[in-house]
Amino acid sequence: MLAKGYGRDSAVIALGGGVVGDLAGFVAATFMRGIPVVQVPTTLVAMVDASIGGKTAVDTPAGKNLVGSFHPPAAVIVDPQLLATLPLREMRAGIAEIVKHGVIADEAYLRQVASRVPEVLSATGGSASDSMLALIVRSVEIKADIVSRDEREDGLRKTLNFGHTIGHAVELVSGYSLLHGEAVGIGMALEGRLAERIGVAQSGTAATITGALQSAGLPTDLPPGFDREAIIEAMRSDKKGLSGKTRFALPLRIGAMAGAKTGWTVSVGDDQLREVLA
Ligand SMILES: NC(=O)c1ccc[n+]([C@@H]2O[C@H](COP(=O)([O-])OP(=O)(O)OC[C@H]3O[C@@H](n4cnc5c(N)ncnc54)[C@H](O)[C@@H]3O)[C@@H](O)[C@H]2O)c1
Ligand SMILES: [Zn+2]
């Protein structure tokens, strides 16, 4: 951009998935100390999650999202027709973030997601179904509502990290061979079990989460042979990690998150974590 003579009066249009959106957003946040970015997401993950809320970051070998900035977009333009060419595996990964929105904020929505997913995933060739549109709209509403109440992640916004503390570690340990949404699916299943095991979540919560993920054909367990100690180690390098204990965003039940009085996270010891990973 510098070589081409762009100045303070330019803007960046991020046309692509979450990787493009994050990188373009970070460039816009830092170019000339910040120019506007318009997000035009082309994957389901980016439409329902990455393009909303102004977090921009890039991944490094040391961990995910360690370099970045808050830079809310000037506009987000979502055209579901763009999903016509998205591979099925990428669609499933987007459903993981949609499931997350149901778990953290809206029980009826999660039930709707589980019942609509087969239809949404079987639709091909150009026409995004009404069901797909309904899911995108509700997910954007949920994320935008949470972000507007806590733009810089001082509290409530941490609930959006459900599934991501373990999920990010799984994504890193897989050498990024698992998609973000797949790793987060595994993370939500495990963090759901963790929440029940330590007595935070109502019994049955983990089973409902696992069921919703399985309806979308998403994994709900670590792949065989995964190094569990490497996952705990990876969580250390994640910004949420503290020595000997890790803070998690955990559900009380479907539609409600724990920790309203403790900053929307719950502290969990390594021993309890090891039990769930095993
Ligand atoms: N900033 C945030 O708040 C936030 C939230 C969620 C995820 N993320 C980040 O987003 C990234 C994941 O985003 P993603 O799932 O969109 O992955 P991605 O950007 O890698 O896109 C997935 C693949 O789909 C291809 N693609 C994109 N649009 C297509 C289309 N319409 N048709 C066919 N192929 C298409 C891409 O080229 C790529 O190969 C992760 O790095 C994650 O950390 C950021
Ligand atoms: Zn995510």
**What is residue 153's predicted lDDT score, i.e. its pLDDT?**
86
pLDDT for the residue numbered 138:
97
Q: How confident is the model at residue 194 (pLDDT cuts 50, 70, 90)?
A: very high
Q: Kindly tell me if the per-residue pLDDT of 116 is higher than 70.
A: yes
Confidence of residue 272 (pLDDT cuts 50, 70, 90): very high
C-alpha distance from residue 25 to each of 7, 56, 272 (Å): 16, 6, 37
Is 242 a residue whose pLDDT tops 60? no
Catalytic residues: 33, 55, 97, 143, 153, 157, 161, 164, 168, 180
Cβ of 153 less than 6 Å from ligand 1: no
Q: Please, which pLDDT band fits residue 114 given cuts at 50, 70 and 90?
A: very high
Q: What is the mean pLDDT of residues 202-209?
A: 98
Statement: residue 68 has pLDDT above 70: yes
205 lines ligand 1 (CB under 6 A): no
Best probe residue, ligand 1, of 162, 180, 182, 218 (max atoms within 8 Å of C-beta): 180
* Angle between the N-to-C axes of helices 205-215 and 107-122, in degrees from 0 to 180, rounded to the nearest 10: 20
- The pTM (predicted TM-score) of the whole model is 0.93
Query: Which residues neighbour 200 within 8 Å (Cβ) at sequence distance 6 or greater?
Result: 250, 251, 252, 258, 266
Nearest alpha carbon, ligand 1 atom 12:
18
Name the residue with higher pLDDT: 123 or 145: 145
Q: Which pLDDT band, with edges at 50, 70 and 90, does 65 fall under?
A: confident
For residues 262 and 62, the model is more confident at 262
Average pLDDT, the chain: 92
Answer whether residue 256 shows pLDDT above 80.
Answer: yes
Q: Is 47 in the pocket of ligand 1 (CB under 6 A)?
A: no
Give the Cα separation of 79 and 88 in Å (integer): 18
pLDDT tens-digit readout, 150-170 = 888 889 999 999 999 999 999
pLDDT at residue 209 greater than cutoff 90: yes
How much is the pLDDT for 59?
81
* pLDDT higher than 50, residue 126: no
Percent of the chain clearing pLDDT 70 (strictly above): 95
Question: pLDDT tens for residues 28-62?
Answer: 999 999 999 999 999 999 999 999 999 999 888 87
pLDDT at site 154: 86
Whether 213 shows a pLDDT value over 70: the answer reads: yes
Beta bridge partners of 269: 245
271: left (phi over 0), alpha (psi -120 to 50) or beta: alpha
Ligand 1, atom 41: closest residue by C-alpha: 19
pLDDT at 156: 93
pLDDT of residue 143: 96
User: Hey, how many other C-beta atoms are within 10 angstroms of the C-beta on 278?
Assistant: 7
